[in-house]
Amino acid sequence: MEDPLSVLLEGGWRERKTTAWLIAVARRAEFRDRYLRRPDLYYDQTVALGALMNLDATLGTEHARRFLAPGGLWQQWLHGPPTKDHDPARSQQLVSQLCAFAADSAAAAFAGTR
């Protein structure tokens, strides 16, 4: 049976956005670079890279390095249409803050059920 997250990632932007957060919060590393190989999804690239960088920081890995290397997919994406100027560190910080919020909320909800 196909993973439900894989199915949702093939849906529209709402399904992909929701699934991306589920993947980030659950730290599902097997999905880590799926979006970064899809430059046609330019509206999701900053969050996808931020999530990958956050996973790297959390798991002690360096999977984002190849995308950020000179001439890598991140630079290719930045120089392609439409015009954009994004700082990957800001994206990582945002994803980190949102994951911390989700973890704190889950912990508070769990504490309230005891």
CA angle (39 as vertex; 95, 14 as ends), nearest 5: 55
Residue 109 tokens, joined: 């909800």
pLDDT, one tens digit per residue, over 60-89 is 999 999 999 998 888 888 887 776 778 889
Instruction: Report the distance separating Cα 3 and Cα 69, nearest Å.
Output: 31
Work out how many domains the chain is built from and give that number: 1
Q: Specify the residue for token string 């001439």.
A: 71
Q: Specify the residue for token string 């790297």.
A: 56
pLDDT, one tens digit per residue, over 29-50 is 777 677 777 767 777 788 888 8
Buried b (16+ CB within 10 A) or exposed e, 65-79: eebeeeeebbeebee
> By residue range, what is the domain housing residue 57?
4-111
DSSP string, 23-88: HHHHT-GGGTTTGGG-TT-GGGHHHHHHHHHHHHHHHT--TTHHHHSTTSHHHHHHHSSSP----H
| Type of residue numbered 6 | S
Is 52:45 a contact under the CB 8 Å cutoff? Answer: no
**Averaged pLDDT, 90-100:** 90
Instruction: Report the distance separating Cα 37 and Cα 76, nearest Å.
Output: 11
Q: Which of 23-32, 69-78, 100-109 has the lowest mean pLDDT?
A: 23-32
Give pLDDT, residue 113.
Answer: 64
